[in-house]
Structure 1
Protein backbone atom coordinates (compact mmCIF):
# COMPACT_ATOMS: atom_id res chain seq x y z
CA UNK A 1 0.00 0.00 0.00
CA UNK A 2 1.24 3.50 -0.81
CA UNK A 3 1.10 6.14 1.92
CA UNK A 4 1.19 9.86 1.07
CA UNK A 5 3.30 12.21 3.17
CA UNK A 6 2.17 15.76 2.39
CA UNK A 7 4.71 18.50 3.15
CA UNK A 8 5.46 22.03 2.02
CA UNK A 9 8.67 22.83 0.13
CA UNK A 10 10.19 23.93 3.44
CA UNK A 11 9.46 23.94 7.13
CA UNK A 12 8.68 20.31 7.99
CA UNK A 13 10.13 19.13 11.31
CA UNK A 14 12.59 16.50 10.09
CA UNK A 15 12.03 13.91 12.81
CA UNK A 16 8.25 14.15 12.27
CA UNK A 17 8.87 13.17 8.65
CA UNK A 18 11.66 10.61 9.02
CA UNK A 19 10.33 8.57 11.96
CA UNK A 20 6.82 8.05 10.48
CA UNK A 21 8.45 7.40 7.08
CA UNK A 22 10.58 4.65 8.63
CA UNK A 23 7.54 3.22 10.42
CA UNK A 24 5.63 2.98 7.13
CA UNK A 25 8.62 1.39 5.39
CA UNK A 26 9.02 -1.09 8.25
CA UNK A 27 5.45 -2.32 7.69
CA UNK A 28 6.26 -3.09 4.05
CA UNK A 29 4.16 -0.19 2.78
CA UNK A 30 5.56 2.46 0.43
CA UNK A 31 5.86 6.06 1.65
CA UNK A 32 5.72 8.78 -1.04
CA UNK A 33 6.68 12.41 -0.53
CA UNK A 34 4.06 14.78 -1.93
CA UNK A 35 4.66 18.54 -2.00
CA UNK A 36 3.32 21.68 -3.63
CA UNK A 37 6.44 22.07 -5.81
CA UNK A 38 8.75 19.57 -7.54
CA UNK A 39 12.40 19.03 -6.64
CA UNK A 40 13.38 18.78 -2.99
CA UNK A 41 11.88 19.87 0.31
CA UNK A 42 13.93 21.50 3.06
CA UNK A 43 13.41 19.94 6.47
CA UNK A 44 14.19 21.69 9.75
CA UNK A 45 15.27 20.74 13.23
CA UNK A 46 13.23 23.29 15.14
CA UNK A 47 14.35 26.58 13.53
CA UNK A 48 17.59 25.30 11.96
CA UNK A 49 17.85 23.88 8.45
CA UNK A 50 18.36 20.12 8.42
CA UNK A 51 18.35 17.71 5.46
CA UNK A 52 16.63 17.91 2.10
CA UNK A 53 14.43 15.16 0.65
CA UNK A 54 13.35 14.49 -2.95
CA UNK A 55 9.73 15.05 -3.87
CA UNK A 56 8.05 12.00 -5.42
CA UNK A 57 4.94 13.78 -6.68
CA UNK A 58 3.45 17.26 -6.85
CA UNK A 59 0.13 17.51 -5.04
CA UNK A 60 -1.65 18.80 -8.16
CA UNK A 61 -0.75 15.55 -9.93
CA UNK A 62 -1.64 13.29 -7.00
CA UNK A 63 -4.92 11.47 -6.54
CA UNK A 64 -6.31 10.08 -3.30
CA UNK A 65 -7.13 6.84 -5.15
CA UNK A 66 -3.37 6.14 -5.42
CA UNK A 67 -2.95 6.03 -1.64
CA UNK A 68 -4.17 4.03 1.33
CA UNK A 69 -3.56 6.78 3.88
CA UNK A 70 -2.15 10.25 4.48
CA UNK A 71 0.46 11.48 6.98
CA UNK A 72 0.74 15.18 7.83
CA UNK A 73 4.00 15.88 9.68
CA UNK A 74 4.34 19.09 11.62
CA UNK A 75 6.86 21.84 12.01
CA UNK A 76 5.54 25.35 12.54
CA UNK A 77 6.01 26.62 8.98
CA UNK A 78 5.09 23.43 7.10
CA UNK A 79 1.34 23.32 7.82
CA UNK A 80 1.11 27.09 7.58
CA UNK A 81 2.42 26.92 3.99
CA UNK A 82 0.18 23.93 3.19
CA UNK A 83 -3.00 25.59 4.42
CA UNK A 84 -2.37 28.46 2.03
CA UNK A 85 -2.23 26.10 -0.97
CA UNK A 86 -5.67 25.26 -2.38
CA UNK A 87 -4.56 21.99 -4.00
CA UNK A 88 -2.94 20.78 -0.77
CA UNK A 89 -6.09 21.57 1.21
CA UNK A 90 -8.26 19.81 -1.40
CA UNK A 91 -5.95 16.76 -1.28
CA UNK A 92 -6.35 16.53 2.50
CA UNK A 93 -10.12 16.93 2.30
CA UNK A 94 -10.29 14.21 -0.38
CA UNK A 95 -8.88 11.62 2.05
CA UNK A 96 -11.73 12.33 4.45
CA UNK A 97 -14.30 12.29 1.63
CA UNK A 98 -12.91 8.90 0.51
CA UNK A 99 -12.99 7.50 4.05
CA UNK A 100 -9.24 6.89 4.11
CA UNK A 101 -7.23 7.25 7.34
CA UNK A 102 -5.23 10.38 8.09
CA UNK A 103 -2.44 10.79 10.67
CA UNK A 104 -1.18 14.18 11.83
CA UNK A 105 1.34 15.28 14.45
CA UNK A 106 2.29 18.49 16.24
CA UNK A 107 1.32 21.54 14.11
CA UNK A 108 0.02 19.31 11.28
CA UNK A 109 -3.64 19.78 12.30
CA UNK A 110 -3.51 23.39 11.08
CA UNK A 111 -3.97 21.95 7.60
CA UNK A 112 -6.91 19.89 8.89
CA UNK A 113 -8.50 23.06 10.27
CA UNK A 114 -8.15 24.75 6.87
CA UNK A 115 -9.64 21.70 5.14
CA UNK A 116 -12.66 22.00 7.47
CA UNK A 117 -12.44 18.37 8.62
CA UNK A 118 -12.10 18.73 12.41
CA UNK A 119 -15.71 19.68 13.15
CA UNK A 120 -17.21 17.05 15.47
CA UNK A 121 -13.87 15.27 15.93
CA UNK A 122 -11.65 14.84 18.97
CA UNK A 123 -7.94 15.32 18.38
CA UNK A 124 -4.66 16.38 19.90
CA UNK A 125 -1.82 18.55 18.62
CA UNK A 126 0.88 20.92 19.75
CA UNK A 127 -0.74 22.85 22.59
CA UNK A 128 -0.81 26.21 20.76
CA UNK A 129 -3.33 24.84 18.23
CA UNK A 130 -6.02 24.03 20.80
CA UNK A 131 -7.95 27.28 20.27
CA UNK A 132 -7.81 26.91 16.46
CA UNK A 133 -9.14 23.35 16.74
CA UNK A 134 -11.94 24.40 19.11
CA UNK A 135 -12.85 27.36 16.88
CA UNK A 136 -13.08 24.94 13.93
CA UNK A 137 -15.61 22.80 15.82
CA UNK A 138 -13.26 20.12 17.12
CA UNK A 139 -12.54 18.95 20.64
CA UNK A 140 -8.90 19.27 21.70
CA UNK A 141 -7.41 16.86 24.24
CA UNK A 142 -3.93 16.72 25.77
CA UNK A 143 -3.10 13.07 25.07
CA UNK A 144 -0.03 11.35 23.62
CA UNK A 145 -2.06 9.90 20.74
CA UNK A 146 -5.75 10.27 19.94
CA UNK A 147 -7.66 8.05 17.52
CA UNK A 148 -10.96 9.52 16.37
CA UNK A 149 -13.10 7.12 14.36
CA UNK A 150 -15.82 9.61 13.45
CA UNK A 151 -17.18 8.89 9.98
CA UNK A 152 -16.18 8.95 7.25
CA UNK A 153 -12.44 8.60 8.06
CA UNK A 154 -10.26 7.64 11.00
CA UNK A 155 -8.03 10.45 12.24
CA UNK A 156 -4.92 9.70 14.31
CA UNK A 157 -3.23 12.69 15.97
CA UNK A 158 -0.31 13.24 18.30
CA UNK A 159 1.18 16.20 20.18
CA UNK A 160 4.93 16.41 19.62
CA UNK A 161 8.17 14.68 18.65
CA UNK A 162 8.37 13.10 22.11
CA UNK A 163 5.21 11.15 21.24
CA UNK A 164 6.57 9.76 17.94
CA UNK A 165 7.02 6.16 19.09
CA UNK A 166 3.39 5.87 20.19
CA UNK A 167 2.17 7.88 17.19
CA UNK A 168 3.97 5.64 14.68
CA UNK A 169 2.79 2.42 16.34
CA UNK A 170 -0.81 3.66 16.45
CA UNK A 171 -1.15 5.12 12.97
CA UNK A 172 0.52 2.17 11.22
CA UNK A 173 -1.84 -0.19 13.05
CA UNK A 174 -4.87 1.93 12.11
CA UNK A 175 -3.74 2.21 8.47
CA UNK A 176 -3.33 -1.60 8.28
CA UNK A 177 -6.78 -2.10 9.84
CA UNK A 178 -8.36 0.30 7.33
CA UNK A 179 -6.74 -1.57 4.42
CA UNK A 180 -8.37 -4.88 5.34
CA UNK A 181 -11.54 -5.67 3.38
Structure 2
Protein backbone atom coordinates (compact mmCIF):
# COMPACT_ATOMS: atom_id res chain seq x y z
CA UNK A 1 0.00 0.00 0.00
CA UNK A 2 1.46 3.40 -0.99
CA UNK A 3 2.42 5.87 1.71
CA UNK A 4 -0.36 8.37 2.40
CA UNK A 5 1.81 11.51 2.45
CA UNK A 6 -1.26 13.73 2.14
CA UNK A 7 -3.47 12.20 4.82
CA UNK A 8 -5.65 14.90 6.43
CA UNK A 9 -5.00 17.34 3.54
CA UNK A 10 -7.78 18.78 1.39
CA UNK A 11 -6.90 20.00 -2.09
CA UNK A 12 -9.01 22.23 -4.34
CA UNK A 13 -8.97 21.80 -8.11
CA UNK A 14 -10.29 25.01 -9.69
CA UNK A 15 -11.74 24.61 -13.21
CA UNK A 16 -14.58 25.63 -15.46
CA UNK A 17 -15.64 24.33 -18.87
CA UNK A 18 -12.81 23.77 -21.33
CA UNK A 19 -10.11 22.42 -19.02
CA UNK A 20 -7.62 19.91 -20.44
CA UNK A 21 -9.10 16.74 -18.98
CA UNK A 22 -5.90 14.79 -18.34
CA UNK A 23 -4.49 17.83 -16.48
CA UNK A 24 -7.34 17.38 -14.02
CA UNK A 25 -7.69 13.61 -13.88
CA UNK A 26 -4.04 12.58 -13.56
CA UNK A 27 -3.14 15.01 -10.71
CA UNK A 28 -6.54 14.30 -9.09
CA UNK A 29 -5.82 10.56 -8.94
CA UNK A 30 -2.20 11.01 -7.85
CA UNK A 31 -3.10 13.43 -5.05
CA UNK A 32 -6.08 11.33 -3.98
CA UNK A 33 -3.91 8.17 -4.00
CA UNK A 34 -1.44 10.03 -1.76
CA UNK A 35 -4.22 10.32 0.83
CA UNK A 36 -5.73 13.77 0.24
CA UNK A 37 -9.38 14.67 -0.01
CA UNK A 38 -9.90 16.33 -3.40
CA UNK A 39 -12.66 18.80 -4.26
CA UNK A 40 -13.69 20.14 -7.65
CA UNK A 41 -14.36 23.88 -7.33
CA UNK A 42 -15.87 25.92 -10.16
CA UNK A 43 -17.56 29.24 -10.86
CA UNK A 44 -21.01 27.61 -11.12
CA UNK A 45 -22.68 24.55 -9.61
CA UNK A 46 -23.59 21.46 -11.61
CA UNK A 47 -21.12 19.94 -14.02
CA UNK A 48 -18.04 21.11 -15.90
CA UNK A 49 -16.85 19.72 -19.21
CA UNK A 50 -13.28 18.80 -20.06
CA UNK A 51 -11.57 18.68 -23.43
CA UNK A 52 -8.93 16.50 -25.06
CA UNK A 53 -7.13 19.27 -26.95
CA UNK A 54 -9.81 20.39 -29.44
CA UNK A 55 -12.16 17.40 -28.87
CA UNK A 56 -14.96 17.28 -26.30
CA UNK A 57 -14.18 15.47 -23.07
CA UNK A 58 -16.22 14.16 -20.16
CA UNK A 59 -18.40 15.96 -17.65
CA UNK A 60 -17.46 16.16 -13.97
CA UNK A 61 -19.57 17.03 -10.93
CA UNK A 62 -18.70 20.27 -9.17
CA UNK A 63 -18.22 19.85 -5.42
CA UNK A 64 -18.26 23.54 -4.49
CA UNK A 65 -18.83 26.96 -6.05
CA UNK A 66 -15.85 29.26 -5.69
CA UNK A 67 -17.97 32.01 -4.10
CA UNK A 68 -19.07 29.61 -1.36
CA UNK A 69 -15.61 28.43 -0.27
CA UNK A 70 -12.39 30.01 0.90
CA UNK A 71 -8.71 29.18 0.57
CA UNK A 72 -8.92 28.62 4.35
CA UNK A 73 -11.00 25.49 3.61
CA UNK A 74 -8.09 23.86 1.74
CA UNK A 75 -4.43 22.98 2.16
CA UNK A 76 -3.47 23.50 -1.50
CA UNK A 77 -4.75 24.44 -4.96
CA UNK A 78 -4.31 22.83 -8.39
CA UNK A 79 -4.98 24.78 -11.60
CA UNK A 80 -5.33 22.54 -14.67
CA UNK A 81 -4.88 24.15 -18.07
CA UNK A 82 -6.73 24.06 -21.34
CA UNK A 83 -7.18 27.31 -23.25
CA UNK A 84 -10.80 28.15 -22.40
CA UNK A 85 -10.70 27.20 -18.72
CA UNK A 86 -8.08 29.65 -17.38
CA UNK A 87 -9.25 32.36 -19.76
CA UNK A 88 -12.74 32.16 -18.20
CA UNK A 89 -11.38 31.83 -14.65
CA UNK A 90 -9.25 34.95 -14.95
CA UNK A 91 -12.37 36.92 -15.89
CA UNK A 92 -14.18 35.80 -12.70
CA UNK A 93 -13.37 38.02 -9.72
CA UNK A 94 -14.26 35.37 -7.13
CA UNK A 95 -11.99 32.81 -8.82
CA UNK A 96 -9.10 35.28 -8.99
CA UNK A 97 -9.57 36.22 -5.32
CA UNK A 98 -9.69 32.52 -4.38
CA UNK A 99 -6.36 31.92 -6.15
CA UNK A 100 -4.74 35.01 -4.63
CA UNK A 101 -5.81 33.94 -1.13
CA UNK A 102 -3.77 30.72 -1.36
CA UNK A 103 -0.68 32.89 -1.80
CA UNK A 104 -1.70 35.22 1.04
CA UNK A 105 -2.06 32.14 3.26
CA UNK A 106 1.32 30.72 2.08
CA UNK A 107 -0.27 27.53 0.71
CA UNK A 108 1.07 25.40 -2.15
CA UNK A 109 -0.32 26.03 -5.63
CA UNK A 110 0.29 23.88 -8.72
CA UNK A 111 -0.56 25.16 -12.23
CA UNK A 112 0.04 23.42 -15.54
CA UNK A 113 -0.05 24.42 -19.21
CA UNK A 114 -2.36 27.48 -19.57
CA UNK A 115 -3.22 27.41 -15.84
CA UNK A 116 -0.76 30.24 -15.03
CA UNK A 117 -3.01 32.72 -16.88
CA UNK A 118 -5.12 32.81 -13.73
CA UNK A 119 -1.97 33.39 -11.65
CA UNK A 120 -1.13 36.42 -13.78
CA UNK A 121 -4.58 37.90 -13.16
CA UNK A 122 -4.19 37.24 -9.42
CA UNK A 123 -0.94 39.23 -9.46
CA UNK A 124 1.16 36.47 -7.89
CA UNK A 125 3.92 35.71 -10.42
CA UNK A 126 6.13 38.79 -10.10
CA UNK A 127 9.66 37.78 -9.12
CA UNK A 128 8.93 34.06 -9.51
CA UNK A 129 10.57 31.44 -11.70
CA UNK A 130 7.86 29.57 -13.64
CA UNK A 131 7.08 27.56 -16.74
CA UNK A 132 3.91 27.08 -18.78
CA UNK A 133 2.62 26.33 -22.26
CA UNK A 134 5.05 28.30 -24.49
CA UNK A 135 2.43 30.80 -25.69
CA UNK A 136 2.15 32.20 -22.13
CA UNK A 137 5.85 33.05 -21.93
CA UNK A 138 5.47 36.73 -22.87
CA UNK A 139 2.39 37.16 -20.65
CA UNK A 140 4.28 35.72 -17.67
CA UNK A 141 7.38 37.80 -18.39
CA UNK A 142 5.25 40.95 -18.72
CA UNK A 143 3.76 40.11 -15.31
CA UNK A 144 7.28 40.04 -13.82
CA UNK A 145 8.00 36.30 -13.82
CA UNK A 146 11.15 34.61 -15.07
CA UNK A 147 9.91 32.04 -17.61
CA UNK A 148 11.96 28.90 -18.28
CA UNK A 149 11.41 25.94 -20.60
CA UNK A 150 11.61 23.07 -18.10
CA UNK A 151 9.21 20.20 -17.42
CA UNK A 152 8.59 21.21 -13.80
CA UNK A 153 9.58 24.31 -11.86
CA UNK A 154 9.04 24.93 -8.15
CA UNK A 155 9.43 28.38 -6.59
CA UNK A 156 8.51 28.62 -2.89
CA UNK A 157 5.52 26.28 -3.09
CA UNK A 158 4.40 27.31 -6.58
CA UNK A 159 4.70 24.31 -8.92
CA UNK A 160 4.37 24.87 -12.68
CA UNK A 161 4.67 22.61 -15.71
CA UNK A 162 4.35 23.03 -19.48
CA UNK A 163 1.95 20.40 -20.84
CA UNK A 164 0.45 16.91 -20.34
CA UNK A 165 3.80 15.25 -21.14
CA UNK A 166 5.11 16.80 -17.91
CA UNK A 167 2.34 15.35 -15.72
CA UNK A 168 4.44 12.68 -13.96
CA UNK A 169 6.96 15.27 -12.73
CA UNK A 170 4.19 17.79 -12.02
CA UNK A 171 2.21 15.33 -9.88
CA UNK A 172 5.28 14.18 -7.96
CA UNK A 173 6.40 17.73 -7.15
CA UNK A 174 2.85 18.91 -6.31
CA UNK A 175 2.48 16.05 -3.81
CA UNK A 176 5.86 16.90 -2.27
CA UNK A 177 4.93 20.59 -1.87
CA UNK A 178 1.46 19.81 -0.49
CA UNK A 179 3.03 17.41 2.02
CA UNK A 180 5.44 20.16 3.13
CA UNK A 181 2.53 22.54 3.75
CA UNK A 182 2.83 26.27 4.13
CA UNK A 183 5.77 28.14 2.62
CA UNK A 184 6.79 31.30 4.43
CA UNK A 185 7.93 32.97 1.22
CA UNK A 186 4.69 32.09 -0.62
CA UNK A 187 3.31 35.63 -0.77
CA UNK A 188 1.37 37.61 -3.37
TM range (shorter): over 0.9
- What residue is the counterpart of 1:58 in the other structure? 65
Which runs of structure 2 are paired with 1:20-31 in the superposition (5 Å)?
A: 20-31=27-38
Give the distance between the partners of 1:178 and 1:124, measured in 2 at CA.
22
TM norm structure 2: 0.92
CA drift at 1:97: 0.3
C-alpha distance in 1, partners of 2:119/2:71?
A: 16
CA positional deviation for 1:65: 1.0
1:123 to 127, 130, 134: 130
Residue number in structure 2 paired with 1:138: 145
* Ranges in structure 2 where 5+ consecutive residues have no aligned partner: 1-8, 184-188
- Deviation of 1:47 after TM superposition, in Å, equals 1.1
Corresponding residue for residue 11 of structure 2: 3
The answer on 1:157 being equivalent to 2:160 is yes
Q: Deviations over 1:125-145 (max 9, x none)?
A: 000000000000110000000
Q: Distance in 2 between matches of 1:93 and 1:121?
A: 15
Matches within 5 A, 1:76-155: 76-149=83-156, 154-155=157-158
Q: RMSD over aligned Cα, in angstroms?
A: 1.0
Q: Give the distance between the partners of 2:26 and 2:96, measured in 1 at CA.
A: 24
Partner of 2:169: 166
> Structure 1-normalised TM-score?
0.95
2:76 to 52, 69, 72: 69
Tell me, in whole angstroms, the C-alpha distance in 1 between the residues paired with 2:155 and 2:122: 17
* Deviation, structure 1 residue 179: 6.2
* Equivalent residue pairs, number: 175
Q: SS at 1:104's partner residue?
A: strand
**Aligned mates of 1:101, 1:166 — CA distance in 2:** 16
